[in-house]
Amino acid sequence: MGTSYQVNANGNVFTGIDDCTTVYSAVVTGGATDEIFGTLAAPGFAIELTRTDLGTKALDNGLYALTGYPGNSFPHLNTTSYTVDYVLTAPGFRDLPLTANVPANAVFPVPGPAAAMRRLPVRIQGRVVSSATRLPIAGALVASIDPSPTPTVHANVLRSPLYFAHAKALNVQTVSIGLPGGSAVLQQAVVGGDKVLNLSTRTGLAANPIVRLTGNAGAQIEYATVAQVGPGAANSPGQVFLKNALNQSYPVAGTAVDFVTATPTGVLDDLSADADVGDGVLLASVLFAQTLGVEMGTPLEEFHEVGALSDSNGYYGFDGIARVQELFLRASQGASKLTVDWFVEYDQPLNLVDFRL
């Protein structure tokens, strides 16, 4: 028991004894940055925490603290280490899960891990028209090019966003798409997010387990790897189950379904940064100009076209734009070319970039 003491108050004498001493303090402190721009400016920046014994404090510039009574939250700290799981959140950014390590005999506050907030992807779309007539140009290629001087990391913009997450340094390379080993007709329209195709035939899928869907006169192209063929004979109508959910929707009329192969060509490259599901930009040490294969030969393999084509009305679009401050987009058809330096507006879910060739 602690030492007693007396306090005089309003003519009364009170005897008190300090039974125990508690300290409420910051136990974990850290700072988050913006992955693209460095300094974070995020009104609404906050910390999600499931532990009820700890509190939180967060500022819009990314500084934060987890607070509490260390003796209560980490009762055996003299012999035991602990971990604290929490999530950094902010409007316009992906949630960032973190784990802070609290070592035995820690001196508080302990530092939180490095944290770079990743912005949510946006869409770039626009129209390609003739500079002379203002009429739409169909079949124009819109692709990312390198600025000058040439950077060491290249932004490859994909026609359809990634289906899977991929770690940094995993392989990516160009592929040659083989002539169809068979083709089919959709028996039912495809809605974005579907992983099942209803086809008029499955003949040819055994040797060509990659399905290519082409719609809107080539403005839409997606590749999917077959996970399993549904019951029934190969030459009969039936279901095909895919490993990845498709990004876009395809009507029955006007959609071509081909069974193809993908043969690696060119130099095997590594991803310069990890990539999230839904990213439409791949960062690599090579700027590619044709169909890509990512993590080929693994359960996460996927294939994508580089660049977008304008449709019959001249419209094109890219989803999943992220990870870069700016893009140098070039629209071309034949000898006509036009490049636009576009600083990505992440506060706008839709960025409009038009071209007059």
* C-alpha distance from residue 277 to each of 28, 35, 167, 282, 318 (Å): 30, 17, 11, 11, 15
Q: Is the peptide bond before 180 cis (omega within 30 degrees of 0)?
A: no
Q: What CATH code is carried by the domain that includes residue 271?
A: 2.60.40
Q: What CATH code is carried by the domain that includes residue 191?
A: 2.40.30.10
Work out the widest C-alpha separation in the chain, in whole angstroms.
101
Predicted confidence band at 18 (pLDDT cuts at 50, 70, 90)? low
What does DSSP assign to residue 114? P
For residue 49, what are the domain limits?
Answer: 25-117
What does DSSP assign to residue 217? G
Whole-number Å distance between alpha carbons of 331 and 195: 32
Whole-number Å distance between alpha carbons of 354 and 25: 54
The full length of the chain comes to 357
Whether 3 maps to a domain, the answer reads no
> What residues form DSSP beta bridges with 136?
129
Q: How many CA atoms lie within 13 A of 272 on its CB side?
A: 15
The sign of the dihedral angle between the CA atoms of 108, 112, 113, 116 is negative
Q: Is the pLDDT of residue 19 over 80?
A: no
| pLDDT, tens only, 282-312 | 999 999 998 999 999 999 999 999 999 999 9
Among 117, 136, 166, residue at a domain's last position: 117
Whether 9 maps to a domain, the answer reads no
Same domain, yes or no: 61 and 146: no
Same domain, yes or no: 173 and 267: yes
* C-alpha distance from residue 64 to each of 53, 237, 286, 303 (Å): 17, 58, 38, 40
Whether 4 maps to a domain, the answer reads no
pTM of the model: 0.86
Predicted confidence band at 22 (pLDDT cuts at 50, 70, 90)? low
| pLDDT, tens only, 244-277 | 999 999 999 999 999 999 999 988 899 999 999 9
Q: Are 254 and 215 in contact (CB under 8 A)?
A: yes
Same domain, yes or no: 281 and 323: yes
Whether 217 maps to a domain, the answer reads yes
Same domain, yes or no: 267 and 352: yes
Whether 80 maps to a domain, the answer reads yes
Domains held by the chain: number: 3
